[in-house]
Structure 1
Amino acid sequence: MGVVGNWARAAIIRSRRITGLAPEVIAELVAEVSPLWHERHQAGLVSRPCRRAVGAGAKHKLVFVDRLLVTLVNLRHGATHDVLACWFGVDRSTITRAIGEVRPLLAERGCTAAPGLRLRTLADVIDHLGADGQTRIIDGTEIRLRRPAAGRKGREKYISDKNKQNAVKSMIVTDAMGRLLFCSPDEPASCADITHARKLGLVKLLADGPAVEILADAGYQGLGAQTGGRVVTPPHRKFKKNPPEWYEEMHERQRKAHSSRRIRVEHGIGHLKNWRALARHHGQREHMSDIVQAVAGLLSHQQTATLGSNPHM
């Protein structure tokens, strides 16, 4: 048994400041993810050659609940593996292995749109959007990371054209209230928002799918014509030099009206960045897709649970 005993474990679960999730949500995660983890663990034991019976030998120092809590604290606060190892009374390698096993399982869950409804792919989101007919909002967000080593191939592609820093980006889809519905795998920050959307297949999904409305910023201008008007972006400026005063007033009014409709996606991204693992990533870039999708899934689960307990929000 590590330093974290039953009393300390219960205190961690009760504190939403530590995990970012309500105790009820953590209980649902344990019930859902624990069987998947045990199944993969047993499959790994069976697949490798060994001289003794499967399951023999030393037992885990961290039970699954502790492994989940370690992963949640790491995502929520960006706590290092050394700190978590000291806190839970195990070796650093045990923490690294636990996070590496649990985090992909959380990333595969997808976003919770409603109780019992998960959206794991962009196609799921478009189908769901067509079913309820409500407006959705898309935007791209960048996550800063360490600069790749000098001489490494592809080093420059991680430099963002927007802020000139090393980063990766993901495309976020929210509902009209800013609740998360989808978070894409990461892409190097040099990739334009509209290019990223095309790579994800958004144009084809919308062109072949139901008549829906998706709000986007100026970074996605051009998608409207390619999707039959399903992607709505700010109006183009028709007069680039010496515009009439009436046109400036009209254009500014239209731009602000569009911005006020899509501001909720910025709020959704803000809630996402409250998880310190996404404020700035200091680890390996190869894990970023799992990290951002795991956090999006956890946050959407909590948002859905909060909405269920407060239906008038």
Structure 2
Amino acid sequence: MIISNRRITGLTADVIAELVAEIGPLWHERHQARLASRQRKRAVGAGAKPRLVFVDRLLATLVHLRHGTTHDVLACWFGVDRATITRAVGEVRPLLAERGCTVSPDVRRSLAEVVDHLGVTGKTGIIDGTEIRVRRPAAGRKDRDKFISGKNKQNAVKSMVVTDDAGRVLFCSPTKPASCADITHARQLGLVKLLAEGPAVEILADAGYQGLGAQTGGRVVTPPHRKFKKNAPDWYEEIYERQRKAHSSRRIRVEHGIAHLKNWRALARHLGRREHVSDTVQAIAGLLSHQQITDLKSAR
């Protein structure tokens, strides 16, 4: 029932089958290594067998990410203890995050691969930052203020998303505290160097990335600067608004891609530990991009 209904996991049965085949052996390998890494009185594999097989662990993680379902509810659903679900999500979520986004059937993971893919295909890339609300750090912590977003005045983390001109997610970065500026985050990810030394591509961005165009040889296109701050002529206002709207219309697809990410309830607001939010963001981005490319192949 869970596998056959896309509304429950957000994924089709074919994609779930591919996930089982891809990360199932990795989970089993790490599970065996963990059992063999500590002193034991019994041989590895002896004793009671796990009540939750890997497929159920994967499904529980997918439902948790898609709908934000609590571990207590999932424990009742799968007939196990709450600690078993917590352990299962903690084991499967990093494996999903490590997969990265599916740029094409044979290209995945890094920002450098995304830039090369855009250069080879001649497609336009679009970048934007998105914020996810998190719990406020405890009083007295020295880094308590760095999670406060200057834009929304809320405690949040930030991730940079790259889509193509159709809004398909190609890359989602690890998270940074929301006080980090969009342009600073892009520089820390090495985007400037990749564009300056890489293939000739066009990257659309909003005003938060103004300045990258000069550093990348014009490869990053941002909205036009406003030349008149006061008493602008009417003819200039008309030209400026036309250019601004034309740029906004071209880069709106990245907002659609981010909206698809936020449809997964775990990203609407992260209520868990902040240490896990980066894995959660990258796991969901990888799952969404995998489903998007599968839908694209099916439509052809």
The 5-angstrom pairing of residues 1-16 of structure 1 reads 11-16=1-6
The runs of at least 4 consecutive aligned structure 1 residues that moved more than 6 Å come to none
The 5-angstrom pairing of residues 115-154 of structure 1 reads 115-118=105-108, 120-154=109-143
- Does the alignment pair 1:106 with 2:96? yes
Q: In the alignment, residue 23 of structure 1 is paired with which amino acid?
A: A
The answer for the alignment partner of 2:189 in structure 1 is: 200
Quote the offset at 1:131 in angstroms. 1.7
Structure 2: gaps spanning 5 or more residues: none
The answer for the alignment partner of 1:5 in structure 2 is: none
TM-score w.r.t. structure 2 length?
A: 0.98
The answer for the alignment partner of 1:82 in structure 2 is: 72
Quote the offset at 1:13 in angstroms. 0.6
Q: Distance in 2 between matches of 1:25 and 1:74?
A: 17
Q: Distance in 1 between matches of 2:239 and 2:277?
A: 42
2:225 is aligned, of 236, 243, 253, to 236
Quote the offset at 1:294 in angstroms. 0.2
- Does the alignment pair 1:251 with 2:255? no
- Does the alignment pair 1:188 with 2:177? yes
Q: In the alignment, residue 95 of structure 1 is paired with which amino acid?
A: I
Q: Secondary structure at the match of 1:281?
A: coil
Q: Distance in 2 between matches of 1:153 and 1:84?
A: 36
2:261 is aligned, of 261, 272, 275, to 272
Quote the offset at 1:210 in angstroms. 1.2
Deviations 1:103-137 (Å, cap 9, x if unpaired)? 0000000111222332x121121121222121100
How large is the RMSD of aligned CA atoms in angstroms? 0.8
Q: In the alignment, residue 88 of structure 1 is paired with which amino acid?
A: F
Quote the offset at 1:141 in angstroms. 0.2
- Does the alignment pair 1:287 with 2:285? no
Quote the offset at 1:53 in angstroms. 1.3
- Does the alignment pair 1:27 with 2:17? yes
Task: Determine if contact 2:103/2:114 at 8 Å carries over to the other structure.
Answer: no
The answer for the alignment partner of 2:295 in structure 1 is: 306
Deviations 1:56-85 (Å, cap 9, x if unpaired)? 112111000000000000000001111111
Q: Percent identity over the alignment?
A: 80
TM-score w.r.t. structure 1 length?
A: 0.94
Q: Secondary structure at the match of 2:8?
A: helix
Structure 1: gaps spanning 5 or more residues: 1-10
Q: Secondary structure at the match of 1:61?
A: coil
Task: Determine if contact 2:107/2:113 at 8 Å carries over to the other structure.
Answer: no
Q: Distance in 1 between matches of 2:41 and 2:72?
A: 33
Quote the offset at 1:153 in angstroms. 2.0
1:41 is aligned, of 31, 36, 39, to 31
The answer for the alignment partner of 2:45 in structure 1 is: 55
Q: In the alignment, residue 105 of structure 1 is paired with which amino acid?
A: L
Quote the offset at 1:55 in angstroms. 1.2
Deviations 1:160-190 (Å, cap 9, x if unpaired)? 0001000001000000000000000000001
The answer for the alignment partner of 2:211 in structure 1 is: 222
Q: In the alignment, residue 90 of structure 2 is paired with which amino acid?
A: G
Q: Distance in 2 between matches of 1:56 and 1:129?
A: 51
